[in-house]
Amino acid sequence: MPNQGGLPELAGVWWRRRVSDRSLTRAGRLWTLSALAQTIPLVAAALVLAALRPLTIPVGLILLAHAWAIPELYAARGARVLKPPSRGRRSPPEAERLALGLLGDLLDHRPRELQRRTGLVLERGRLGVWLLGEAGALLVRPGGRRVHCYCVRVPDPELPAADRIAHLLLALREDEVGFATVANLAFAGAPWRVRRRVPAPVREALAVALAEARRRPVQAG
Amino acid sequence: MSQLIRMDHTGHTVLAEWTMGDQASVDGAVARFREQLDQGYFAVVSRGEGHAEQVRELPLEAETVILRRPIAGG
C-alpha cells in the first residue's frame, strides 16, 4: 500500500490502521479489560479454593501473587520505554554537546529547561501530551487519567542521545497520528502504575505532563 | 545564510550553506540535499510552534533544513 501522505515511515507498517482519538480510547479500555480478564479468574479461584478447602490457602496465595504480578509486569514494560537504552559506548562529549544544542534550538524555554533537568522532551499534541525519550515515548491522554507507552526509536546506535530524541521530536511534529501508528504500544493504563516504576527525573517530567494534560483541553484539528 | 544540517554521530554536521542571491551556493546545497535524500535521509523544516514539514525539494527560503534518519517501532 502506498504511503498516502504523512510520515514516510508509515509505508513500512502499511497493515496498521492510522490511530485516532477514538482508537486510542478503545485501546486503553481494552488494556484495562485485558488486565481484569487475567486477574479476576485468579483471584476468584483463590477465594473459592479457600472457601471450599482451607487447606488450599497456600495455593490460593500463589494464585493471588500471580494476579498481582501480571499487571505489574505490563506496567514495568511500559515504564521501560523512557529508560535510556543500554549501549556499548556513549558518544563523545563534544557530539553530545552539539546534539543537545540542536535539540535545544527546537524547543521553547520551558520544555528546554525540563529536558535539561530530566532528559525528556515534553511536546503538546492533538492526541495528548507527549514525553519523548531516547528509545520511546509516553502519551498522556487529555484529562491525565491514562498514559500510553510506546517503543519507538531511530535505529542508529551511533547517534548521540539528544539526536535520538530530536529525531523522534521532528517525526512527531511532522505527523502525530503517523508517529503513534509507527510506534509499538507497550502499555496503556493509569499513570500511577508507570510513575512508581521510573526514576525521579522521569517522575518529574511525568508530573509536568500530567499537569499539562489536566490543565488545558487539547487543540482541535 | 541558510543551512542544511544532518543529524549524525558527530552531533550534527552542516553540509551546505546558501544565500538566495548566490547561485553557486544554491546549486551546491541542492546537490548535497539530493545526495542525502538518495542515501535514505528525510528532510524536515520547522513550520512554527510544534509543527514540522517533510520536504522533497530544498526550500531555498528556509533558514534551516534538517536531515533525519527514519524512525521505527522498537
Q: pLDDT tens-digit profile of A64-84?
A: 999 999 999 999 999 999 987
CB of A206 within 8 Å of a chain B CB? The answer is no
Residue B33, number of CB atoms within 10 A of its CB: 23
**A97 part of a folded domain:** yes
B52 phi, psi to nearest 5 deg:
-140, 155
Residue of chain A whose Cα is closest to the Cα of B13: A98
Residue A89, number of CB atoms within 10 A of its CB: 7
Which pLDDT belongs to residue B31? 97
**B41 part of a folded domain:** yes
**A1 part of a folded domain:** no
| pLDDT exceeds cutoff 50 at A11 | yes
A214 closest CA partner among A148, A145, A144, A123: A144
CB contact under 8 A, A8 and B71: no
**A29 part of a folded domain:** yes
Among the partner-chain residues B5, B8, B52, the one whose CB lies closest to the CB of A174 is B52
β-pair type (B2-6, A129-132):
unpaired
Cell digits of residue A174: 511532522
Min Cα distance B41 → chain A (Å) is 11
pTM: 0.91
CB of A124 within 8 Å of a chain B CB? The answer is yes
Are A70 and B10 spatial neighbours (Cβ–Cβ below 8 Å)? no
Which pLDDT belongs to residue A221? 44
Please give the average per-residue pLDDT across A209-219, as a whole number.
82
**B7 part of a folded domain:** yes
Q: Is the ipTM of this complex over 0.85?
A: yes
Give me the number of domains chain B comprises.
Answer: 1
Min Cα distance B47 → chain A (Å) is 9
Min Cα distance A156 → chain B (Å) is 8
**B37 part of a folded domain:** yes
What does each C-alpha distance from A46 to A40, A71, A117 come to in angstroms? 10, 17, 46
**A5 part of a folded domain:** no
CB contact under 8 A, B9 and A182: no
**B74 part of a folded domain:** no
**A206 part of a folded domain:** yes
Q: Which domain holds residue B64?
A: 2-68
Among the partner-chain residues A100, A124, A171, the one whose CB lies closest to the CB of B71 is A171
CB of A54 within 8 Å of a chain B CB? The answer is no
A209 phi, psi to nearest 5 deg:
-65, -40
**B73 part of a folded domain:** no
Q: Grid cell 510506546 — which residue? A: A150
Q: Which domain holds residue A215?
A: 20-221
**A15 part of a folded domain:** no
Q: Kindly report the CA angle at A22 between A5 and A152, in degrees rounded to 5?
A: 55
Which pLDDT belongs to residue B50? 87
Min Cα distance B29 → chain A (Å) is 20
Give me the number of domains chain A comprises.
Answer: 1
Which pLDDT belongs to residue A8? 94
CB contact under 8 A, B71 and A152: yes
CB of B72 within 8 Å of a chain A CB? The answer is yes
**A160 part of a folded domain:** yes
Please give the average per-residue pLDDT across B19-23, as a whole number.
93
Rounded to the nearest angstrom, the gap between the alpha carbon of residue A186 and the centroid of all alpha carbons in its chain is 7
How far is residue A15's CA from residue A33's CA, in Å, rounded to a whole number?
25
